Amino acid sequence: MEKKIYNLNFEEALDRFKSSFSGISEDEARKRIKVWGKNELKKKRNCKWAKIIFGQFKDTLVIILLVAAGLALFFQEYRDTTIIMIIVLVNAIIGFLQEFKAERTLEKMKKLTTDKALVMRDGKKIEISANFLIPGDVVSVTSGDKIPADGYILESYQLKINSVIFTGESKPKKREKGIILEKNISLAEITNMVFMGETVSTGEATFLVTGTGMNTELGKIADLSQEVKGEITPLQKKVRTLGKNVTVLAVLIGAMVMIAGHYFKLSLYDNFLFALALSVSVVPEGLPAAISVALSLGMKRLLGKNVLTKRLSAVETLGSVSMICTDKTGTITKNELTVTEVIVGKNSVNLGGIGYNPSGDFYQNEEKIDPQSIANLEMIFKIGTLCNSSNLSHHDGIWEILGDPTEGAMIVAGRKFNPKEDYYLQGEKKVFENPFSSSRMMMSVVYRGEKLLSYVKGSPDVLIDLCDTIQDGEGVKEFTSEEKKSAKELYNNL
């Protein structure tokens, strides 16, 4: 039985894909892309226009009306034919417009892939379109990058990956090179690989591409999602039952009228026309259009609440839900972290605002305060901002963090204290950085300003034990063992 990729060492992985640390050649890449195809998620049905259009005419009541319209046309009753067809077309147009609009919006899978990738070709690092990556390529990624394909890690430096799209966990997990996993494990437990759609929170890595396009883990999910068959909603079941009952009733009425007309010696034309009129009168022809209009309004209201439904019928299904079972908070949150409370000395300060928008007020004892009045609060935000490898960006009206969400939350808190973008960098020049590691449990940077200072952040357990002095509103003083114990109790309570 062939080993899984994560069961191999890096030499075996490179050998399986006939590659090396220098990557493959351009000639070999052109040959392989003909075999593997482009690195993109494919849809089984590229155009669903026809399916959406014909789907509007599957309803039993609509079928009855179409049959009636056909019979009316056969007997040259153009007025009745026109009225019935207008009703059917209005219903179909409403349903089509709403469902096609939702169909076009539901293209979010492709947004999880990136546009460019740094890849080794002919021993040189070049930038290419991620669509042209193929198994055997060697790709480099760094903090903030999206993973463009599935891959086996060849080199890594303090690498942490955000895998929220697979696991629902907002906290980045460490991935490492050189780890050989001996057994079959779940995707969430694999620590020596990266997968398309994930994001590099911190660190950097070089990996061997092992899967592209629909052969990636994300591609498998996309493939499965296209095979899901929709179930009939409670409303559709009731409408179908009504349609069957109306059909039986209409046929019975038509048959009885035909028999009665034959008994009273009516002509076949008059008899059939009379029977058709009575049969069609039983059909609530306005019901399909009324249902579509009601569901369309519901879809519009849901869209206003940022809920997108693919089909009109789903609106009614959501309305029938009485219980929602969820996994855990990380699965249904926005994958954003926010600083809500800062403790400096004996002062506890609460921060307003949500997400990564750097605006919010400061409160103490539920009263709004000027943060500049709190001693050493600016220094805390300065340390959190300068001793940081993440970045805050503003694009198309949306604030985003490139890097670790925890570090991003510190930057946002600092910007709330002073909204000026480079406020903490004024007069400072970075001269050294020692990144966070599991052995040190801290990150430190050195800046040259008026003085040469090192700013450090990390695990409270480690930093508190390292500190001999503390600074409060009165100045620098000894950090006693009792004060250290109180500080540990304080953060444990938080």
Q: Token digits for 221? A: 């999910």
> Any idea how long the chain is?
494
Contact between 349 and 477 (Cβ < 8 Å): no
Q: CA 360, 395, 157 angle in degrees (round to 5)? A: 90
Contact between 289 and 88 (Cβ < 8 Å): no
Separation of CA 64 from chain center: 42
The identity of residue 380, as a single letter, is I
What's the Cα-to-Cα distance from 280 to each of 26, 63, 64, 70, 393, rounded to whole Å?
A: 69, 12, 8, 12, 62
Using the structure block, give the residue that is written with the tokens 């309570």.
493
Q: Token digits for 204? A: 């950097």
Indicate the SS3 state at residue 182: coil
d(CA 56, CA 474): 75
Separation of CA 371 from chain center: 35
Query: Which has the closest alpha carbon to 393: 384, 402, 385?
Result: 402
Using the structure block, give the residue that is written with the tokens 């153009």.
78
The identity of residue 66, as a single letter, is L
Cβ within 8 Å of residue 204, ≥6 positions away: 140, 141, 142, 143, 156, 157, 158, 159
Q: What backbone phi and psi angles, to 5 degrees, belong to 238?
A: -65, -40
Q: Token digits for 416? A: 């709330």
Q: CA 237, 241, 242 angle in degrees (round to 5)? A: 115
Query: Which residues are registered as beta bridge partners of 446?
Result: 432, 454
Count of CB atoms situated within 10 Å of the CB of 129: 14
Q: Which of 59, 150, 270, 327 is catalytic?
A: 327
DSSP 4: P
Q: Is 327 a catalytic residue?
A: yes
Contact between 156 and 204 (Cβ < 8 Å): yes
d(CA 23, CA 119): 8
> So which residues are the catalytic ones?
327
